């Protein structure tokens, strides 16, 4: 057998070893993901509006350090919502209905998900540190030990916000790992994760 014949045999073997791709399933998954994104974005915007109203109310009813905290939180809410919408650009639809376009969309969405998780993670940590700095005077033992109402409020804040912050950090870390595995699974099908094609 000639060298060319050997090459054709090897290429044929490689082609047969490629994993089968269910195009219809990719299309269904892309459509379902788009609907989930729409619902999630709607809820996200609603929560941002509630947070915006709460921060605005606190700005109008507080003074000093806590008015500063309310203003900074208000700016953070606005900034986060802008970032959320910006990161999701190009993640709504594939550039086509072929396998490559659908796989590229999966990669683009996974990368956007990683960026969103990182934004949530670091913004949560930054907001927590800023809140602790603002509330430092109230956290002094001499203050809360002598004030029953303050002690009760601090206990409630720790009991509610502590688990929420830990859950947010854990969820973001888990979600980042999940999206990285999704990128790897698409890469295993022969598509580079650097493929840029998608429609904004």
Number of domains in the chain: 1
17-63: per-residue pLDDT in tens? 455 566 677 788 888 888 999 999 999 999 999 999 999 999 999 88
Domain assignment of residue 2, yes or no? no
Structure-block tokens of residue 75: 């700016």
Cβ neighbours around 137 below 10 Å, total: 9
- C-alpha to C-alpha distance for 63 and 132, rounded to whole angstroms: 17
Domain assignment of residue 111, yes or no? yes
Structure-block tokens of residue 30: 């892309």
- C-alpha to C-alpha distance for 25 and 146, rounded to whole angstroms: 63
- Please report where in the chains the tokens 């910006």 appear, as a residue: 86
Residue 57 pLDDT: 94
Domain assignment of residue 9, yes or no? no
pTM of full prediction above 0.85: no
- Please report where in the chains the tokens 């996200």 appear, as a residue: 44
Domain that holds residue 87: 23-187
Dihedral sign (CA 12, 13, 18, 23): positive
Domain assignment of residue 7, yes or no? no
Domain assignment of residue 178, yes or no? yes
Domain assignment of residue 193, yes or no? no
Cα torsion 58, 62, 68, 72 to 10°: value is 0
Q: What is the DSSP letter of 199?
A: B
Domain assignment of residue 198, yes or no? no
Residue 190 pLDDT: 59
Residue 100 pLDDT: 82
Domain assignment of residue 129, yes or no? yes
- C-alpha to C-alpha distance for 181 and 177, rounded to whole angstroms: 6
Which phi and psi angles does 22 have, rounded to 5°? -90, 100
First to last CA, the chain: 51
Q: What is the DSSP letter of 191?
A: -
Residue pLDDT tens, the chain, 200 long? 455 555 556 555 554 445 556 667 778 888 888 899 999 999 999 999 999 999 999 999 988 899 999 999 999 999 999 999 999 998 888 777 777 888 888 899 999 999 999 999 999 999 999 999 998 888 888 887 888 888 888 888 889 889 999 999 999 999 999 999 989 888 776 555 554 444 33
- Please report where in the chains the tokens 């959320």 appear, as a residue: 84
Cα torsion 64, 67, 72, 75 to 10°: value is -150
């Amino acid at each position: 057998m000639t060298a060319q014949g050997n090459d054709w045999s090897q290429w044929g073997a490689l082609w047969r070893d490629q994993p089968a791709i269910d195009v219809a399933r990719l299309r269904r998954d892309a459509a379902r993901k788009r609907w989930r994104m729409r619902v999630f974005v709607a809820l996200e915007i609603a929560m941002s509006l509630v947070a915006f109203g709460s921060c605005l109310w606190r700005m109008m009813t507080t003074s000093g350090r806590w008015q500063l905290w309310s203003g900074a939180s208000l700016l953070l809410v606005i900034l986060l919502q802008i970032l959320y919408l910006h990161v999701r650009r190009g993640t709504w639809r594939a550039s086509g209905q072929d396998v490559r376009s659908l796989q590229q969309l999966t990669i683009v969405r996974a990368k956007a998900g990683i960026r969103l998780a990182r934004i949530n993670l670091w913004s949560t940590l930054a907001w927590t540190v800023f809140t602790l700095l603002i509330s430092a005077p109230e956290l002094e033992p001499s203050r809360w030990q002598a004030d029953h109402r303050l002690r009760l409020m601090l206990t409630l804040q720790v009991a509610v916000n502590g688990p929420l912050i830990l859950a947010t950090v854990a969820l973001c870390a888990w979600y980042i790992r999940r999206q990285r595995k999704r990128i790897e699974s698409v890469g295993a099908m022969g598509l580079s994760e650097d493929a840029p094609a998608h429609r904004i």
